[in-house]
């Protein structure tokens, strides 16, 4: 596996573009990603009962299993917009399809931004018209910029892997949580690959991989109405079809997992107001499931997150969050340590506190990237979750009226 | 039902005292509550897998169904302290029992404060010795002060009710969430009554009432290792025993629910760094269970809480939190409004936004007490939850190192 540049257009046969269409004041706000031929597709969506109109549209596209393009706007979420919202999502797809010479049933539509406000369809149409002639194999950065909201940097990852002597590329772009009044956190992720792989195999792989990547990060625990992760596989690389469970599948899986994992971590690093990136490892738990529950509980705890903001080696809050996670474990067996580039400090052994130097602990915890490891000494279960600290800036970004 | 003064010693046959025993620098840090005779008892404890030593001790007392006293310290949680911690909890009970002329099996022990540090048993013994001669029927305030940690005010409530011509009193005190490094949020609540009621009836009533009161509040979603709610019923009022399901039971239940509900709300009002008190009502849901899930989800959302800090009528975040609560409901039927002493503003009708004056909305939301009502128009289910906003001060209190 080789990490490469190019993001969402790293794979062969994909073009992208990003522009300012006027939905936001001055930043880029519309992106288009297109495959040169029909692509197998899979997607996962928010589990929120309140789903934005484009999510409902996209669920239909994913069921068809074939897609060619994705139109994204980052100014208006088209959520809580009723029947008009559904019509607008469909109309967005239909208009892009007509310009791209395909059917609307092959065009995904994604939106993020203000909610409860009807889409300005004139701007969407003009934006789509402007995007089509700009489509290029080098347009990944523009597209990655154009899907951002309060993100402070664009998020792109790509790798190439060798599938039976054939170079197959997997790349993607994502945006993290961002608020625009009155709005909510939204995660969007678009992955492209030139692999030949069926929609159903891709769908299995996506479900499994999201479980260990996007479902293991937390900025604030809120699940948006618009969360979407879409994969397109156009087969342009020329490999023999990747079959579930084959050696080739495993190679592809490694690359695919890397792309989604890195994009997930980039979102966490760019968490609103975040100053520190926290990795929580749980090892030797009774099961992977228990380990996951504990790791997720810790990175979601406001008390733990606030402690990291204060560079406080507050192991008690971590044990506490493991304790209310619903996981089965014996607290009297747990070892707990904190690490960073400045070293490692053991704070708990067999459930009881170890004496440690507060000075060294502080030095370790003042770093920007902290790793916490809880060893349960009970089995072989393990999991990793990623999060960030809770800061004044988080409260400011999300509390300021009409910011 | 009549609201009266006196808190935990409002009921006949109870005495209390509170002192500074030296576990904290200068504030009161030990309290003792004693019934003049053996009392029927019931208690509920944290569901956290990581339980502090006194919780484990108290679970045994509650099983015995008879108790006479509660010793509390608010300087040291005696959590994550291993075998020594369990011995110290038992020794605390035994020493108090010897001074009070009762058995240790009738003495509850509660602790909150620093974790992972052994109890200073000399201070606990001296503190207990000092408390006993100070016990008085007017010692409620001192006791209520002595159980506080970062609480900014003492929390006491009492009512009297008429049970078959006999005046029965129910009173209590509580402390809310507070941090002392390295520590976690802890809720303690002590309720006393002079009613004659069996331990099993009291236990049923407590379980049911906690579900609608303490389990419907959230400051930051973390469940402590020490959370405890204890009830003592000494029968001194002289009423005929209150039997489950009788008319007398209903009268008693009303008073009991009021005391726990008001104490729960006081804890929320005193939430760390909280500037606003939020009441979330869900009405006409498919079931009470669905309504509870939605109400709790909204008051636990960091995004919703940050929006209230900013006096932002961010109905989208509320609908979103209802959406990921796990409750069944149809978003396209929901009406949503915000109220305060400054009036009411309707923001959503049948799932779609209503135009509203931002000026009026801001005026309503700048108040300290906000009521949000979501009408699901689907059934008769209803629930209320209470929470507070997420502020800079919350982050400061919980993030400041060694504060």
Q: What 3-state class would DSSP assign to A45?
A: strand
Cβ of A317 within 8 Å of Cβ of B402? The answer is no
Nearest chain B residue to A351 by CA: give it: B80
Q: For position A402, what pLDDT does the model report?
A: 35
3-class SS letters over B321-389:
HHHCCCCCCCHHHCEEEEEECCEEEEEEECCEECCCCHHHHHHHHCCCEEEEEEECCCCCEEEEEEEEC
Nearest chain A residue to B361 by CA: give it: A401
Q: For position A392, what pLDDT does the model report?
A: 77
Question: Could you read off the pLDDT of B230-259 as tens digits, one per residue?
Answer: 999 999 999 999 999 999 999 999 999 999
Q: Name the nearest CA neighbour of A173 among A33, A30, A358.
A: A33
Q: Looking at the predicted structure, is the pLDDT value of residue B401 above 70?
A: no
Task: Assess A317–B contact: CB distance below 8 Å, yes or no.
Answer: yes
Task: Output the CA–CA distances (angstroms, integers) from residue A148 to A225, A312, A397, in the order listed.
Answer: 17, 32, 15
Q: Looking at CA atoms only, how far is residue A220 from chain B in angstroms?
A: 6
Cβ of A309 within 8 Å of Cβ of B82? The answer is no
- How far is Cα B31 from Cα A161, in angstroms, rounded to an integer? 67
Q: Looking at the predicted structure, is the pLDDT value of residue B261 above 50?
A: yes
Indicate the CATH number for domain B277-399.
3.10.20.340
Q: Name the nearest CA neighbour of A319 among A278, A341, A347.
A: A347
Contact B45, B182 (CB under 8 A): no
Residues 104-123 (B) with a CB less than 8 A from some CB of A: 115-117
pTM for this model (two decimals): 0.83
Residue with tokens 């469940």: B223
- How far is Cα A210 from Cα A356, in angstroms, rounded to an integer? 38
pLDDT in tens, chain A (403 residues): 999 999 999 999 999 999 999 999 999 999 999 999 999 999 999 888 888 999 999 999 999 999 999 999 999 999 988 899 999 999 999 999 999 999 999 999 999 988 888 999 999 999 999 999 999 999 999 999 999 988 889 999 999 999 999 999 999 999 986 543 334 457 899 999 999 999 999 999 999 999 889 888 876 666 678 889 999 999 999 999 999 999 999 999 999 999 999 999 998 888 777 789 999 999 999 999 999 999 999 998 888 888 898 888 889 889 988 998 899 999 999 999 999 999 999 999 999 889 899 899 999 999 999 999 999 999 999 999 998 888 777 777 777 533 3
Indicate the CATH number for domain B2-267.
3.60.70.12
Q: For position A180, what pLDDT does the model report?
A: 36
Known catalytic residue at B49: no
- Provide the 8-state DSSP code for A25: S
Cβ of A317 within 8 Å of Cβ of B183? The answer is yes
Q: For position B300, what pLDDT does the model report?
A: 85
Residues 84-103 (B) with a CB less than 8 A from some CB of A: none
Q: Looking at the predicted structure, is the pLDDT value of residue B185 above 70?
A: no
Q: For position B218, what pLDDT does the model report?
A: 74
Peptide bond into A182 cis (omega under 30): yes
Residue ranges of domains in chain B: 2-267, 277-399
- How far is Cα A202 from Cα A187, in angstroms, rounded to an integer? 20
- DSSP secondary structure string, A104-131? GGGEEEEE-SB-SS---HHHHHHHHHHH
Q: For position A222, what pLDDT does the model report?
A: 67
Nearest chain B residue to A301 by CA: give it: B222
What value, to the nearest 5°, has the Cα angle with vertex B389 and ends B386 and B390?
A: 130
Q: Looking at CA atoms only, how far is residue A51 from chain B in angstroms?
A: 8
Q: Name the nearest CA neighbour of A149 among A183, A118, A117.
A: A183
- How far is Cα B161 from Cα B170, in angstroms, rounded to an integer? 8
Q: For position B400, what pLDDT does the model report?
A: 59
Question: Could you read off the pLDDT of B90-99 as tens digits, one per residue?
Answer: 999 999 999 9
Q: Name the nearest CA neighbour of A6 among A200, A141, A198.
A: A141
Asked if the domains A2-267 and A277-399 are classified in one and the same CATH topology, the answer is no
Contact A286, A379 (CB under 8 A): yes
When pLDDT is cut at 50, 70 and 90, the band that residue B127 belongs to is very high
What value, to the nearest 5°, has the Cα angle with vertex A179 and ends A95 and A366?
A: 135
* Interacting residues of A340 by C-beta distance below 8 A, sequence separation 6+: A364, A365, A367, A369, A370, A371
β-bridge partners, A160? A2, A169
Residues 224-263 (B) with a CB less than 8 A from some CB of A: 224-225
**Residue A240: Cβ within 10 Å count:** 12
Mark residue B105 as left, alpha or beta (left: phi above 0; alpha: psi -120 to 50; beta: remaining). alpha
Task: Assess B25–A contact: CB distance below 8 Å, yes or no.
Answer: no
* Interacting residues of A26 by C-beta distance below 8 A, sequence separation 6+: A20
- How far is Cα B181 from Cα B195, in angstroms, rounded to an integer? 40
- How far is Cα A156 from Cα A200, in angstroms, rounded to an integer? 25
Q: Looking at CA atoms only, how far is residue A348 from chain B in angstroms?
A: 9
The torsion defined by the Cα of B52, B57, B62 and B64, in degrees rounded to 10, comes to: 160
Cβ of A323 within 8 Å of Cβ of B50? The answer is yes
Q: Looking at CA atoms only, how far is residue B323 from chain A in angstroms?
A: 4
Q: Which of these ranges, A102-106, B28-32, B115-119, B235-239, has the smallest mean pLDDT?
A: B115-119
Q: Which of these ranges, A214-228, B79-93, B192-206, has the smallest mean pLDDT?
A: A214-228
Q: Looking at the predicted structure, is the pLDDT value of residue B290 above 80?
A: yes
Residues 37-66 (A) with a CB less than 8 A from some CB of B: 46-51
Using an 8 Å CB-CB cutoff, list chain B residues near A358: 402
Q: Looking at the predicted structure, is the pLDDT value of residue B180 above 70?
A: no
* Alpha helices in A120-198, H assignment, sequence order: 121-131, 140-146
Q: Looking at the predicted structure, is the pLDDT value of residue B397 above 80?
A: no
When pLDDT is cut at 50, 70 and 90, the band that residue B222 belongs to is low
- How far is Cα B66 from Cα B50, in angstroms, rounded to an integer? 26
């Amino acid at each position: 596996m080789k990490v490469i540049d190019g993001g969402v257009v790293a794979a062969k046969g994909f073009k992208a573009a990003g522009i300012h269409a006027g939905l936001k004041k001055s930043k880029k706000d519309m992106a288009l990603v297109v495959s040169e031929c029909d692509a197998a597709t899979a997607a996962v969506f928010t589990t929120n009962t309140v789903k934005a109109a484009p999510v409902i549209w996209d669920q239909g596209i994913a069921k068809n299993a074939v897609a060619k393009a994705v139109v994204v706007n980052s100014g208006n979420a088209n959520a809580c917009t009723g029947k008009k919202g559904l019509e607008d999502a469909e109309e967005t797809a239909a208009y892009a399809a007509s310009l791209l010479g395909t059917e609307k049933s092959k065009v995904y539509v994604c939106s993020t931004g203000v909610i409860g406000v009807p889409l300005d369809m004139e701007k969407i149409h003009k934006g789509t018209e402007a995007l089509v002639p700009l489509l290029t194999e080098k347009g990944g950065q523009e597209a990655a910029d154009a899907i951002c909201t309060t993100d402070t940097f664009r998020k792109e990852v790509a790798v190439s892997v060798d599938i039976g002597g054939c170079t197959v590329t997997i790349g993607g772009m994502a945006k993290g949580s961002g608020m625009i009044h009155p709005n909510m956190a939204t995660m969007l992720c678009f992955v492209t690959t030139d692999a030949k792989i069926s929609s159903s195999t891709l769908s299995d792989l996506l479900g499994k991989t999201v479980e260990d990547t996007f479902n293991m990060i937390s900025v604030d625990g809120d699940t948006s109405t618009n969360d979407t992760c879409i994969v397109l596989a156009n087969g342009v690389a020329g490999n023999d079809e990747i079959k579930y469970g084959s050696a080739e599948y495993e190679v592809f899986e490694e690359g695919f997992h890397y792309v989604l994992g890195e994009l997930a971590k980039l979102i966490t690093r760019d968490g609103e107001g975040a100053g520190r990136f926290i990795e929580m490892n749980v090892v030797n738990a009774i099961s992977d499931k228990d380990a996951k529950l504990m790791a997720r509980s810790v990175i979601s705890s406001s008390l733990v997150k606030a402690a990291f903001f204060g560079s406080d080696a507050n192991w008690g809050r971590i044990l506490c969050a493991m304790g209310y996670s619903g996981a089965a474990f014996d607290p009297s067996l747990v070892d707990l340590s904190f690490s960073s580039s400045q070293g490692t400090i053991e704070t708990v052994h067999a459930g009881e506190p170890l004496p440690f130097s507060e000075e060294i602990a502080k030095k370790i915890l003042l770093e920007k990237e902290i790793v916490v490891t809880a060893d349960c000494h009970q089995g072989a279960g393990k999991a990793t979750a990623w999060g960030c600290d809770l800061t004044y800036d988080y409260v400011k970004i999300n509390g300021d009226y009409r910011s």
